[in-house]
Amino acid sequence: MNHPILNFSIPRTKGTYILVLSLTERQTIAVGKLGSLTFPPGNYLYVGSAFGAGGLAARLRHHLKPSKLHWHIDYLRAVAQLEAIWFSEDGQRSECQWSTILYNLPPLSCLQRGFGSSDCNCVAHLYYCATEEGLAVVNQTLQQMGMNGVGRLGISSPD
Ligand SMILES: [Zn+2]
How many CB atoms are closer than 10 A to CB 153? 21
- Split into its structural domains, the chain has a count of 1
The pLDDT assigned to 157 comes to 42
Query: Does some domain include residue 112?
Result: yes
pLDDT in tens, 116-140: 999 999 999 999 999 999 999 999 9
Q: What percent of the chain has pLDDT over 90?
A: 73
Contact predicate 58/15, CB 8 Å: no
Q: What is the dihedral of CA 154, 156, 157, 159, to 10 degrees?
A: 150
Cα 67 to ligand 1 centre (Å): 24
Indicate the pLDDT class of residue 158, thresholds 50, 70 and 90: very low
- For 140, the enclosing helix (H) or strand (E) is helix 132-144
Q: What share of the chain is helix, strand, coil (3-state, %, to 5)?
A: 30, 30, 45
Query: Does some domain include residue 5?
Result: no
Query: Does some domain include residue 94?
Result: yes
- For 103, the enclosing helix (H) or strand (E) is helix 95-103
Please state, in angstroms and rounded to a whole number, the distance separating the CA atoms of residues 159 and 153: 12
Query: Does some domain include residue 3?
Result: no
Residue 97 lies in domain = 14-150
CA distances from 145 to 18, 22, 52, 55, 98 (A): 13, 23, 24, 21, 10
pLDDT in tens, 65-91: 878 888 999 999 999 999 999 999 878
Query: Does some domain include residue 97?
Result: yes
| pTM: predicted TM-score of the whole model, two decimal places | 0.91
Query: Does some domain include residue 9?
Result: no
Cα 96 to ligand 1 centre (Å): 4
Cα 30 to ligand 1 centre (Å): 21
Query: Does some domain include residue 159?
Result: no
Query: Does some domain include residue 85?
Result: yes
Indicate the pLDDT class of residue 6, thresholds 50, 70 and 90: low
